[in-house]
Structure 1
Amino acid sequence: MTRTIQDTHFTAQIASQACQRQWESMPADACERVAQCLLDWFGVALRGSTEPVAAILRQEAMLDGGNGVASIVGHPGKMTVLQAALVNGAASHALDFDDVHIHVGHPAVAILPALLALAEARGADGRSLAVAYLAGYEAACLVGAAIGEAHYDRGFHTTATIGIVGAAVACARLMALPEDGMRRAIGLAATQAAGLKVMFGTMAKPFHAGRAARDGLHAARLSAAGLSANASVLDGEYGFLSLLGDGTGRLPAVADGPLELRNNLFKYHAACYLTHAAIDAARRIAASPGYRACDIDSVIIAARASIDSVCNITAPTTGLEMKFSIRYAVAMALGGLDTGSPEAYADDQVAVVAALPFLPRVRVALNEKLPLTYSHVDVRLKSGQVISDSSDSNRPAIDLAGQRERLVAKFHGLAANHLDESRRRRFVAAVLSLEQCEDVGKLFRLIQP
């Protein structure tokens, strides 16, 4: 069942659902899924803490001083909760290796840094964290579904513009705000929403995630303090959905809908998610019997036209830009190069990929009718043979145990330069038994230098 965006109760219904979430009513698989999101987030945040964007924001925060009550991943000492949300949010998105939801972009990097900073400061337990994260995640997905693809296609970065609402809802739920307070938090978040796709390939993209976390947390705190805001900000002719969408969207049913957390997608290539389908197709082609990269005559990558403003940088000059080049990503896969580690996208690797003999003959064919997460790759060999494959990266895992194993391995790879194996194992065990955690701050203490 759907309704038009001119209805006036969507904000209220989202707030009501978020406030009603309780540990006792969480689906059986939900805590495991939250724990997996948390493990993945800590891994990318820890490795991302060494990236320049994280260092710049830490240095800037130190200039402001403040009462340190919230941890900074990968670094000793503490900062204010708002500073920690900003710094950890940017660090966790610096690699572009964090999880994805088709309606939100990158939910964890917008929601978890805010929620963890607040939870640590309040001494919250793992169950409270899981309930609050689910509330924020599901709220963000509802808003993202309602605003529709037009919002992203017009150039808005949904991790920032939708993620901020998820962060506000999650923090408001952890603070146990009543429904009117939750609605104010949503209003204060929505009125701050900002982030443009034109920043992709620069440090401003992970900065978006940090700002979404910081500002969403701030919205919840200001609501708790009594700052007023429009309590129906998402609704009506001049509401968030009408102004930032195309004005023709329809609202998803809030009550009794499927759990969107089950549609969460994790990354195993350290590049923009919209390159992943093409990478997977290219890797299967490269594994074909008798395939040799030296035999490639030409390559055609078919992808949705809207990726042109996301991940179609033709000739990247930095490793960060290379993460947003579907052409280079496919060339890496076809050339037998690693696509799954952050080091594969270091600045000095740009020249390595550029030197692949077949790269000048790799072409991207844009097609508006293709699904956003779908790609088709044709490789023509010098013999005239064509090897083809296609993939759609919007395929959530069904096997939770198998996904857990992959995420544990990913965490060990990301954290290896920061923690010895014994500490990594203790941390993984603590995160994956989240419901038994009596103090979320313990998780930070397990990994801090």
Structure 2
Amino acid sequence: MSPDGVPVAETMAEFARTARWEELPAEIRREAGRAWLNHVGCATGGASTSTVAAAIRGVRSMGSAGSVPLLAREERFGLGDAALLGSLSASAHTFDDTHLATITHPTGPVAAALAAVSFELSSAGRPVPGKDLLAALMVGTELECRVSMAISAGGSHLGWYMTGLSGGIGAAAAVARLLGLDQDGFVWAIGLAAAQACGTRATHGSMALTYVPGVAARNGLVAAYMAGSGFDCGPGSVDGRNGLLQVLTGGRDAAPIMDGLGSRYEVLNNAYKPYPCGIVIHPAIDACLHLIRAEGVDASGIEAVELRVHPDALNLCWRKLPETEADAQVSLFHWVAAALVTGSAGLDQGALACISHQAVRSLQEKTAATPDPGLLGNQAEVELRLRGGRTVKRFTSDATGSVSNPMTDDQLTAKFRALARLSLGNEQAEDLLALSLGTPDLPDAADVLRAGCLGRDAAGPT
């Protein structure tokens, strides 16, 4: 709670309600476009996975009906289900962005909820300009990251899936902007989303890894619509007695949410992934790729692999001999072995053929990892013992894609193309890319969803 006793939800609501696109710093406006581009690419690529197909079957088995499309799918859904599935799709390849300090994946829940609502409003004759969608995206993800910081600073157990705890709050604040809620409405929306916070990391290694962010997107959207209809919630839901922070951490310190809100942006510490796996694995992948590509190491001559990694790499990605693609997405040992054997770390290396490849399997067995709390999250060391007794070593100090070594705009565009072409033809993928890049100037942000869905003739305004 703030020093003057005002619940933090009031301060969060004021920030979310009053922030203006034109007044956001240039670097925040730029990052809004990059985050949106990355999300659209990830969601489009994920749409053709078995994970999304299973989720759609589950949703449709309950008789869900609606008119909101998904990227790279022909089915239509109601608002809440479209938000859930859109966020879930963006997580399907574990290629979505990550706020490394808290291991939050901030854009998916917020962007998916905004995409669904922008389409619904457009269909009702109230199109959302692209810059308004991007402003809402930045507001929502900023609050999401800050709530995650408060939960993390309070000592919350690592087993909580942070995106599920904070993602709904970010989505609720963002959707509340599009709906034009008043101050009370924003407070209620934030509170209702906080009341639905959920998710544990036991979901890792299964399709359910994607479900928690999806639920956050749906819950945040529902919270905003409920609040907009006069369904209230007390202002202490985040930092009040028995509120989110106290339940998760035992304390009620909201300082990480409030300090510098509106002048210092935590979302600038968000990162876009160059590799489709847990971000804590990326420093080790960088080191392996350097040893293979730059130093010419022959993987067939490797007798042992020694890793020195940040503790979170083992806390979150400890699986040594994964059996499935979902398991491999969060396996440090698989990605090290795959990178060394193939000299690459892309979507093909996450496929079952690579996971079960004899040479990759053999190196997984030969790999040992030691946690080093002295390392930063974007650092790792890989030491290889080669046939004949020679050893080679590589230390990664600033992993590719980290805040200290971010992906360039060209790299993000290349990533978009690679993902979009998994689900769309080249022409439609390029049309979607052009619209996504031009979102700040679009008079109707829903045009992105229309351009990226299948059966586009059926996706126009009704």
TM-score computed with the length of structure 1 as normaliser: 0.92
Residue 180 (structure 1) aligned to one of 184, 198, 206:
184
Q: Distance in 2 between matches of 1:117 and 1:248?
A: 33
Residue 72 (structure 1) aligned to one of 62, 70, 73:
70
| Correspondence for 2:367 | 362
| Correspondence for 2:32 | 34
Q: What is the CA distance between 1:104 and its match in structure 2?
A: 5.7
| Correspondence for 1:312 | 318
Q: Distance in 1 between matches of 2:154 and 2:392?
A: 35
Q: What is the CA distance between 1:61 and its match in structure 2?
A: 2.5
| Correspondence for 1:273 | 279
| Correspondence for 2:88 | 90
Check the 8 A contact 2:338/2:354 in 1, yes or no: no
| Correspondence for 2:144 | 140
Secondary structure of 2:26's partner? coil
Q: Distance in 2 between matches of 1:226 and 1:248?
A: 27
Q: What is the CA distance between 1:119 and its match in structure 2?
A: 1.1
Q: Which amino acid aligns with 1:10?
A: V
Query: Residue 20 and residue 250 in structure 1: after superposition, are their counterparts in 2 closer, same or farther (change >3 A)?
Result: closer
Q: Distance in 1 between matches of 2:229 and 2:331?
A: 45
| Correspondence for 1:107 | 106
Q: What is the CA distance between 1:397 and its match in structure 2?
A: 6.4
Check the 8 A contact 1:328/1:353 in 2, yes or no: no
Check the 8 A contact 2:172/2:193 in 1, yes or no: yes
Q: Distance in 2 between matches of 1:271 and 1:395?
A: 14
Q: Which amino acid aligns with 1:380?
A: R
Q: What is the CA distance between 1:354 and its match in structure 2?
A: 5.8
TM-score computed with the length of structure 2 as normaliser: 0.89
Task: Note the residue ranges of structure 1 that are not aligned, 5 or more in a row.
Answer: none
Q: What is the CA distance between 1:385 and its match in structure 2?
A: 2.6
Q: What is the CA distance between 1:57 and its match in structure 2?
A: 2.1
| Correspondence for 1:59 | 57
Check the 8 A contact 1:12/1:232 in 2, yes or no: no
Check the 8 A contact 1:136/1:165 in 2, yes or no: yes
| Correspondence for 2:403 | 396
Q: Distance in 2 between matches of 1:148 and 1:6?
A: 24
Check the 8 A contact 1:152/1:158 in 2, yes or no: no
Instruction: Map 1:5-20; keep pairs closer than 5 Å.
Output: 8-20=6-18
Q: Distance in 2 between matches of 1:83 and 1:340?
A: 30
Q: Distance in 1 between matches of 2:430 and 2:261?
A: 39
| Correspondence for 1:259 | 265
Instruction: Tell me whether 411-420 or 118-127 shows the greater mean CA deviation.
Output: 411-420
Secondary structure of 1:386's partner? strand
Deviations 1:422-444 (A, max 9, x none): 33222222111112111122112
Instruction: Tell me whether 280-289 or 214-223 shows the greater mean CA deviation.
Output: 280-289
Q: Which amino acid aligns with 1:159?
A: T
Query: Residue 50 and residue 418 in structure 1: after superposition, are their counterparts in 2 closer, same or farther (change >3 A)?
Result: closer
| Correspondence for 1:117 | 116
| Correspondence for 1:46 | 44
| Correspondence for 1:344 | 349
Q: Which amino acid aligns with 1:38?
A: W
Residue 237 (structure 2) aligned to one of 225, 228, 233:
233
Q: Distance in 1 between matches of 2:178 and 2:154?
A: 32
Check the 8 A contact 2:306/2:369 in 1, yes or no: yes
| Correspondence for 1:413 | 418
Check the 8 A contact 2:289/2:344 in 1, yes or no: no
Q: Distance in 2 between matches of 1:132 and 1:104?
A: 22
Instruction: Tell me whether 187-196 or 258-267 shows the greater mean CA deviation.
Output: 258-267
Q: What is the CA distance between 1:101 and its match in structure 2?
A: 1.4
Q: What is the CA distance between 1:250 and its match in structure 2?
A: 6.0
Q: Which amino acid aligns with 2:58?
A: E
Secondary structure of 2:385's partner? strand
Q: What is the CA distance between 1:155 and its match in structure 2?
A: 0.5
Q: Which amino acid aligns with 2:115?
A: L
Query: Residue 71 and residue 410 in structure 1: after superposition, are their counterparts in 2 closer, same or farther (change >3 A)?
Result: same
Secondary structure of 1:29's partner? helix
Q: Distance in 2 between matches of 1:5 and 1:237?
A: 16
